[in-house]
Amino acid sequence: MIGVAVLGSTGSVGVSTLDVLARHPARFRVVALTAYRDIDRLYEQCRVHGPEYAVVVDRAAAERLDRRLRSDGVEVEVLGGEEALNTVARLAQVDYVMAAIVGAAGLPPTLAAARAGKRVMLANKEALVMSGRILMDAVRDSGAELLPIDSEHNAVFQCMPPDFERGLSEVGVVRILLTASGGPCRNMAAPELASVTPELACAHPNWSMGRKISVDSATMMNKGLEVIEACWLFNIKPSQVQVVIHPQSLVHSMVQYADGSVLAQMGNPDMRTPIAHALAWPDRIDSGVAALDIFAVGQLDFERPDLARFPCLRLAYEALERGGTAPAVLNAANEVAVQSFLDRRLAFTAIPQVIEKTMQSLATQEAGSLEVIHEADRQAREVAGRLVGVGAKKGYA
Ligand code: NDP
Ligand code: MG
């Protein structure tokens, strides 16, 4: 039996992961589940999946969950606080760790899992954006396995030859074509974008996801973060990662080879496919996703992205070019701006403005240690927080 810890089990990816795990009770055992504070959902998950541990970062909520489980006779050890995330990621009885916490908060337990030599199934792209070098080195040094859950990167992984780590030019890979749906604002004219609401931004046409990544998809920062993610995962240059708008979200990405071949991975847009792939790799298991009906699809469209209407993508390429702490600064400023937008304190079109100004006001350092990265993250949150405050007063457009 393979022991699995699901970090961020109460979120969108977490729930999909538990759905796949429950289809294979003879193969996987749920060892640990974690939430930030949604104890109602975590309580239900404890009853259904019977983990050994449940972590709740909010300590008061952890105590409430503990009382409730005890009084109902459900035997689960409840741990509170941030450090407990690292504890469960390192447990000896945990073989696989699903890293599905949203944002920078996911970095420490993801790194803990990598350092402990686990199979790390990475949904938390922000961890790689912030500290790609450190995370990739940790994976290599400990002999951990890193399998991408992000649908595009999982698709690329599936289209790569098994020995791609020898070097992409060695194995004849020329380019990655990273597909993007374009999000709910794909066809909006620039003036319309200023009045996009959180409801509209979160209504993704093809995918059902958490609120932060939904806004990132609407601004196309999600694709920007994914370009950075692809560079680390596949050791490829930014100029070899081409973003392709593909509104149907059925081709999840492609790899182009020196002989003219382009390999694509296709499927219905449902995160249970990449999750099942990473859980079973190199085998294949049932994910619960319906087979793709190619005749019902009929047509596939591909377009170039519009960097003028969606400057977040340009900013991500800039951060990659600067290197060092620049992607961590981009990520932190984005998290602050997106939260303010969701709180209705910032206009949709001000999100890239806050990020660009934050990037301009902080010098790039070498990202040699976690301390340096955390300091860059802290400073970027401070600067972006101030900019958001000014923006809210002036009514940023
Ligand atoms: P959700 O917002 O749905 O879930 C986030 C999870 O993280 C919840 O379990 C939440 O707990 C927990 N969490 C939030 N803040 C903290 C914190 N500070 N410390 C510890 N735990 C925390 O997010 P998604 O599932 O949509 O996304 C998760 C990650 O996967 C993101 O990095 C996203 O970019 C990536 N991803 C998601 C995809 C999707 O389809 N949703 C696709 C590809 C990548 P609680 O419920 O208690 O708040
Ligand atoms: Mg994705």
Q: What is the dihedral of CA 334, 340, 343, 348, to 10 degrees?
A: -70
Cα separation, 262 vs 237, whole angstroms:
18
Contact between 141 and 207 (Cβ < 8 Å): no
Number of domains forming the structure of the chain: 3
Q: What is the mean pLDDT of residues 257-275?
A: 98
Which DSSP string corresponds to 317-331? HHHHHH-TTHHHHHH
312, part of any domain: no
394 has a pLDDT exceeding 70: no
Q: What is the pLDDT of residue 396?
A: 47
295, part of any domain: no
392 has a pLDDT exceeding 70: no
156, part of any domain: no
Q: What is the pLDDT of residue 397?
A: 41
- Give me ligand 1 centre to Cα 103, in Å: 7
Do 10 and 137 fall within a single domain?
yes
Q: What is the pLDDT of residue 17?
A: 98
What sign for the dihedral angle of Cα 113, 275, 228, 162? positive
Closest atom of ligand 1 to 211 CA is 2
Q: Which of 244, 268, 292 is the last residue of a domain?
A: 268
- Higher pLDDT among residues 208 and 231, named by residue: 231
Q: What is the mean pLDDT of residues 182-203?
A: 93
- Give me ligand 1 centre to Cα 123, in Å: 9
What sign for the dihedral angle of Cα 226, 230, 232, 233? positive
Range of the domain at 349: 323-394
Q: Which of 229, 244, 268 is the last residue of a domain?
A: 268
**Which residues on adjacent β-strands are paired with residue 149?**
none
Do 185 and 140 fall within a single domain?
no
**pTM (2 decimals)?**
0.97
Ligand nearest the Cα atom of residue 338: 1
Ligand nearest the Cα atom of residue 104: 1
395 has a pLDDT exceeding 70: no
Do 40 and 69 fall within a single domain?
yes
The residue among 325, 307, 303, 306 whose CA lies nearest residue 370 is 325
CATH of the domain at 359: 1.10.1740.10
Do 53 and 112 fall within a single domain?
yes
Task: State the pLDDT confidence band at 208, using cuts at 50, 70 and 90.
Answer: confident
- Give me ligand 1 centre to Cα 100, in Å: 5
- Phi then psi dihedrals of residue 19, to 5 deg: -60, -45
153, part of any domain: no
Pocket of ligand 1 (CB under 6 A): 8-14, 35-38, 57, 100-102, 105, 123-126, 150, 207, 209-210, 212-213, 271
Cα separation, 319 vs 129, whole angstroms:
10
Q: Which of 93, 115, 148 is the last residue of a domain?
A: 148
Cα separation, 312 vs 216, whole angstroms:
9
Do 56 and 139 fall within a single domain?
yes
Scanning 235-306, the segments in alpha helix (DSSP H) are 272-280, 294-297
Closest atom of ligand 1 to 208 CA is 40
94, part of any domain: yes
Tens of pLDDT along 40-86? 999 999 999 999 999 999 999 999 999 999 999 999 999 999 999 99
Do 34 and 94 fall within a single domain?
yes
Task: State the pLDDT confidence band at 206, using cuts at 50, 70 and 90.
Answer: confident
Tens of pLDDT along 299-329? 999 999 999 999 999 999 999 999 999 999 9
Ligand nearest the Cα atom of residue 275: 1
Q: What is the mean pLDDT of residues 177-206?
A: 93
Do 143 and 207 fall within a single domain?
no
By CB neighbour count within 10 A (0-12 exposed, 13-18 middle, 19+ buried), where does 277 fall?
Answer: buried
Cα separation, 78 vs 15, whole angstroms:
19
Do 189 and 260 fall within a single domain?
yes
The residue among 323, 316, 326, 317 whose CA lies nearest residue 376 is 326
Q: Is 145 helix (H, G, I), strand (E, B) or coil?
A: strand
Strands 96-99 and 2-7, how do they pair?
parallel
Do 125 and 189 fall within a single domain?
no
Contact between 57 and 36 (Cβ < 8 Å): yes
Closest atom of ligand 1 to 14 CA is 25
Do 132 and 177 fall within a single domain?
no
Q: What is the pLDDT of residue 204?
A: 84
391 has a pLDDT exceeding 80: no
Do 176 and 140 fall within a single domain?
no
- Give me ligand 1 centre to Cα 323, in Å: 26
CATH of the domain at 118: 3.40.50.720
393 has a pLDDT exceeding 80: no
Do 130 and 14 fall within a single domain?
yes
86, part of any domain: yes
Fill in the amino acid letter for 87.
Answer: T
CA terminus-to-terminus distance, the chain? 54
226, part of any domain: yes
Q: What is the pLDDT of residue 205?
A: 83
